Structure 1
Amino acid sequence: MTAFDELMGFARETAALGEISGRLGWDQETMMPRGSAAQRGQEMSAIEAVLHARRSDPRVGELLETAQASDEVGAAQLREIRRAYERAGKVPADLAKTLARVTSEAQGKWAQARADEDVAAFLPVLEEVVALKREEGAALANGGTLYDAMVDDYEPNTTGDEIATIFEAMRPRLVNLRSRVLEKAAPKGVTGTFDESKQMKLTRKLAKTFGYDMNRGRVDKAVHPFSSGSGQDVRITTRTNPTDPFNCFYSTIHEVGHGCYEQNIDDQYLLTPLGRGVSMGVHESQSRIYENQLGRGRAFTGWLFEEMSEVFGDFGIADADGFYAAVNKVNNGYIRTEADEVQYNLHIMLRFDLERALMQGDLQVSELEAAWNDRFVADFGYAVDKPSNGCLQDVHWSVGLFGYFPTYSLGNVYAGCLFEALKSSVPDLDAQLSKGETSAATSWLSDNLQRYGGLYAPREVIEKASGMAPSELPLLNYLEAKFSEIYGL
């Protein structure tokens, strides 16, 4: 056995253990009894200790010194193993173990505080999480910027300053479009109640329509929709609201984008460093293009209108044009995951600035609620009414995902580039989508991006697929054209 073979065998076992850890997280969000949170924290801590020990095992360093790759794939495997090894070596084992335990417990405390609308109950554990993440960031930054080290976990080779530059370019056009749209009369929305069991039945049909393989996946309900797993076991969740079926359907399509990315990665990469999506920004490009450019486009909503009419009967909208406008309705709201395409990125910019300030020490945890509320009024023009609509709405900070939020908007930017290329490559795209046929679009994404997994760097894979360097311009042009047409601007 060569050093490369031995290294890959070790990496596969580590990846398998990582999947087990991920399954514990999935269970915690979907099925775990509430009273199990403390024990689950200990379980997560124990498995993280094992994973950290493997990732920082001196044998990995020794094998990396002599392992040789015979092709591009092997070179990429070594690159990712080295990256993970060097990162693990910078983070003390006790810190990694403590972070796993505290964030697992913090997630439960966040959920309870959110249900109770009690920010004060959550702040002590958030203070602990922030302190631990600052400590981790300092170890990873090696004298550099803490927040950049955190972003690098989710979007390699991207800095906070680079993200800020993109956001500064996006903000004026988004704010202007939002202002012009909200001056117009809002389209009529759906009315009535929508049986939640029927929502789940249709949502599973939507998942299959977009290519999600139910033989290697499942759809469950959770407070916060998410996707989990890779390869042959990829699970997604959604949520239902009896008066808002779009919440369920578009959460599902969004998570299917994530799930299909993982399911469509080349089988030869299974349980290896290349067997996962290359970054969260690229991951988000898949969920957003499935949800928005495809799922919320005029062609596909025409098909969905007929499906919903068959399942629910009359829900207050007369025709497909009215349904298309309702699906893309722009209106005031607090919740990021429910935001329309025009305003979504403004929600991300708020979180990006606040979490960057938290990590840099410019904002204290005790000041977070007031800072959030002040910023929300400044950006959206109305006040937050309760904590679950404000700083308690997202799970991310409770589980230590600092640096994650900006990748959502990077995903939108990447999706804009991909959609331009997709339309050129599939001239009859709308004709197919109008029949509920998504395979041409999803196959193009699979062939040009998803199958590569972690083979190429994030921006490289976007450029290879779209034929252009990532830019915010295609996204902004798409949004202005779409909503100008809907609102008669």
Structure 2
Amino acid sequence: MTAYDDLMALERETQALAQVAGRLGWDQETMMPRGAAPQRAEEAGAMQAVLHARRGDARRGDLLAQAEAEATGEVACAQLRHIRRDFDRAVRVPGDLAVALARLTSRAQGQWAEARAGDDYAAFAPVLAEVVRLKREEAAALARGGDLYDALIDDFEPEMTAARLDAMFAEMRPRLVDLRARALDRDWPVMEAAFEEQAQLRLAREVARRFGYDFARGRLDLAVHPFSSGSGDDVRITTRVAEHDPFNCIYSTIHEVGHACYEQGIDADYRLTPLGQGVSMGVHESQSRIYENQLGRSRAFTGWLYARMREAFGDFGVAGEEVFYRAVNRVHRGYIRTEADEVQYNLHIMLRFDLEKALIAGDLAVDDLEAAWNDRFEADFGHAVDRASNGVLQDVHWSVGLFGYFPTYSLGNVYAGCLYHAMRAAVPDLEAELARGEPGAATGWLCAQVQAHGGRFAPAEVIARACGGETPTAGPLLDYLEEKFGGM
């Protein structure tokens, strides 16, 4: 046994424990009884204590140094690159801080859900202030004198910075605002029928299978905020159901299937190793967004979906495939990020990006966050927030400490735009297959080009490799949106 072998054996155990910790989070959002929240916070803290100790263990550091001196081969070097990054970050964060964050965010998540249900931001603000305080402590430990927010972004998108994101958003905003103004000036069809819950879920499961989700290694459940959890042979997804909005269920499912298929599609040789999971949240989001939007909301696929919904629900008041396509892609004045059309979605992300930068920098107090949100939303979207659940309380992310996560949604859209441009050239029968409700050629291309690699390549590199060496930029996404919505 070499040092590398010993190190990888240690990593597999740590990865397995991390999967168990993730399962606790999945259970908390889907099946856990409400009264179990205080105990779950202790359980989450205990798991984090074990994981943090293992990740920053001196023995791990010694084995890592020895392995780095002896290892050869691209895959081994990629494994060590991830382990080095994880080890260096682990030793910078005090163990008691990591445990305190795990306990606090487990508790805060439940308080967020209750506050959201009651449209009561004031009830959530005290625990959010604690989360922000501890995240600033964590960022300071990681940054070592550098930018606090950059240190948090790095958790989700390695080597990305706020300055680069600012430049990307500055490029995107003018074209998005112009396209939105033109799109909102048109009439869009609205569906008003009722759609039975179990029928929606049956259709969601069928669509999930068509997009390649393996139910033998996963399951679909309901959650307040849809998400995907796990990797390898246990990858679970959730969705939500609204009686008068079946697209909420169907497209939340397709979105989470994109995440899940990434994890299920990673080379089995990488399982329970640092390469055995998505390389970044931006690349992860590229899969969920391209599944949901470029494929799932395409004219070709919605033609198939229209016929399938007629079979499932009967006549629901939409006359023809073209009207249905426009209903699926309706540009409208809404509030909710997860329900936003493709034109306005990234404007939601820009709002959150600026607000959380200010929170972490100490320029915005948590007590002032709701007012700041409402003012910014009205300025950006042209109408006032009507209640907290449609505003500052709509997303779970801040309650669980995911500061630096939101911009990866827009990065995912940018990456998806690049991938779709390459896919259209690589899959010549794409439209015909989508029209038959068979996205397998597209998802197979994505698996081979992106998903199978797991964490083997850096985020921008894996996208560039799939796109013939082209550095990812916002141009293909903006061109796709103009082509789709400019004359619809």
Regarding TM over 0.5, the answer is yes
1:71 offset after TM fit, Å? 1.1
| In structure 2, distance between residues paired with 1:126 and 1:438 | 41
> Does structure 2 conserve the Cα–Cα contact (< 8 Å) formed by 1:227 and 1:259?
yes
Q: Are 2:169 and 1:158 aligned?
A: no
Q: Secondary structure at the match of 1:234?
A: strand
The answer for the alignment partner of 2:368 in structure 1 is 367
The answer for the alignment partner of 1:27 in structure 2 is 27
The answer for the alignment partner of 1:120 in structure 2 is 122
1:185 offset after TM fit, Å? 1.8
AA partner of residue 224 (structure 1): H
Q: Structure 2: where are the runs of 5+ without partners?
A: none
Q: Secondary structure at the match of 1:229?
A: strand
The answer for the alignment partner of 2:255 in structure 1 is 254
> Does structure 2 conserve the Cα–Cα contact (< 8 Å) formed by 1:241 and 1:247?
yes
| In structure 2, distance between residues paired with 1:65 and 1:243 | 58
1:162 offset after TM fit, Å? 0.4
| In structure 2, distance between residues paired with 1:485 and 1:300 | 19
The answer for the alignment partner of 1:97 in structure 2 is 99
1:70 offset after TM fit, Å? 2.9
The answer for the alignment partner of 1:106 in structure 2 is 108
1:484 offset after TM fit, Å? 1.6
The answer for the alignment partner of 1:42 in structure 2 is 42
The answer for the alignment partner of 1:313 in structure 2 is 314
| In structure 2, distance between residues paired with 1:322 and 1:101 | 49
1:35-82 superposed Cα distances (whole Å, 9 cap, x missing partner): 111100000000000000000000011111111323100000011011
| In structure 2, distance between residues paired with 1:385 and 1:466 | 43
1:150-188 superposed Cα distances (whole Å, 9 cap, x missing partner): 0000000000110110001000000000011111222x2
| In structure 2, distance between residues paired with 1:190 and 1:309 | 13
Give 1:452-471 correspondences, 5 Å limit. Answer: 452-467=453-468, 468-471=470-473
AA partner of residue 128 (structure 2): L
AA partner of residue 91 (structure 1): V
Give 1:265-304 correspondences, 5 Å limit. Answer: 265-304=266-305
- TM-score scaled by structure 1? 0.99
User: What percent identity do the matched residue pairs reach?
Assistant: 66
The answer for the alignment partner of 2:18 in structure 1 is 18
| In structure 1, distance between residues paired with 2:35 and 2:92 | 35
| In structure 2, distance between residues paired with 1:28 and 1:353 | 29
AA partner of residue 334 (structure 1): Y
> Does structure 2 conserve the Cα–Cα contact (< 8 Å) formed by 1:171 and 1:346?
yes
The answer for the alignment partner of 2:392 in structure 1 is 391
AA partner of residue 6 (structure 2): E
The answer for the alignment partner of 1:146 in structure 2 is 148
| In structure 2, distance between residues paired with 1:344 and 1:419 | 18
1:485 offset after TM fit, Å? 2.9
1:216-251 superposed Cα distances (whole Å, 9 cap, x missing partner): 011100000000000000000000000000000000
| In structure 2, distance between residues paired with 1:232 and 1:69 | 28
| In structure 1, distance between residues paired with 2:408 and 2:421 | 20
The answer for the alignment partner of 1:436 in structure 2 is 437
AA partner of residue 9 (structure 1): A
> Does structure 2 conserve the Cα–Cα contact (< 8 Å) formed by 1:182 and 1:331?
yes
Q: Secondary structure at the match of 2:221?
A: strand
| In structure 2, distance between residues paired with 1:456 and 1:327 | 35
- TM-score scaled by structure 2? 0.99
Number of residue pairs matched by the alignment: 485
> Does structure 2 conserve the Cα–Cα contact (< 8 Å) formed by 1:207 and 1:256?
yes
The answer for the alignment partner of 1:323 in structure 2 is 324
| In structure 1, distance between residues paired with 2:310 and 2:486 | 27
Q: Secondary structure at the match of 2:330?
A: coil
AA partner of residue 320 (structure 2): D
AA partner of residue 27 (structure 1): D
AA partner of residue 295 (structure 2): L
Give 1:337-348 correspondences, 5 Å limit. Answer: 337-348=338-349
AA partner of residue 4 (structure 1): Y
Q: Are 2:417 and 1:416 aligned?
A: yes
The answer for the alignment partner of 1:55 in structure 2 is 55
Q: Secondary structure at the match of 1:106?
A: helix
Q: Secondary structure at the match of 1:125?
A: helix
AA partner of residue 79 (structure 1): R
More off after superposition, 130-139 vs 67-76: 67-76
Q: Are 2:100 and 1:84 aligned?
A: no
AA partner of residue 279 (structure 1): S
The answer for the alignment partner of 1:65 in structure 2 is 65
Q: Are 2:223 and 1:205 aligned?
A: no
1:427 offset after TM fit, Å? 1.0
Q: Secondary structure at the match of 1:82?
A: helix
The answer for the alignment partner of 1:475 in structure 2 is 477
1:109-161 superposed Cα distances (whole Å, 9 cap, x missing partner): 00001111111110000000000000000000011000000000000000011
The answer for the alignment partner of 2:9 in structure 1 is 9
AA partner of residue 44 (structure 1): A
| In structure 1, distance between residues paired with 2:185 and 2:299 | 23
1:75-118 superposed Cα distances (whole Å, 9 cap, x missing partner): 00011011100000000000000000000000000000111111
1:189 offset after TM fit, Å? 1.9
> Does structure 2 conserve the Cα–Cα contact (< 8 Å) formed by 1:190 and 1:317?
yes
The answer for the alignment partner of 2:428 in structure 1 is 427
Q: Secondary structure at the match of 1:485?
A: coil
| In structure 1, distance between residues paired with 2:485 and 2:150 | 34
The answer for the alignment partner of 1:169 in structure 2 is 171
| In structure 1, distance between residues paired with 2:341 and 2:42 | 39
| In structure 1, distance between residues paired with 2:65 and 2:484 | 53
1:191 offset after TM fit, Å? 2.4
The answer for the alignment partner of 2:234 in structure 1 is 233
Q: Secondary structure at the match of 1:215?
A: helix
Q: Secondary structure at the match of 2:487?
A: helix
In angstroms, what is the RMSD of aligned CA positions?
0.5
1:192 offset after TM fit, Å? 1.2
AA partner of residue 11 (structure 2): A
AA partner of residue 206 (structure 1): V
> Does structure 2 conserve the Cα–Cα contact (< 8 Å) formed by 1:299 and 1:430?
yes
The answer for the alignment partner of 1:222 in structure 2 is 223
Q: Secondary structure at the match of 1:329?
A: coil
1:428 offset after TM fit, Å? 1.1
1:318 offset after TM fit, Å? 1.1
> Does structure 2 conserve the Cα–Cα contact (< 8 Å) formed by 1:189 and 1:316?
no
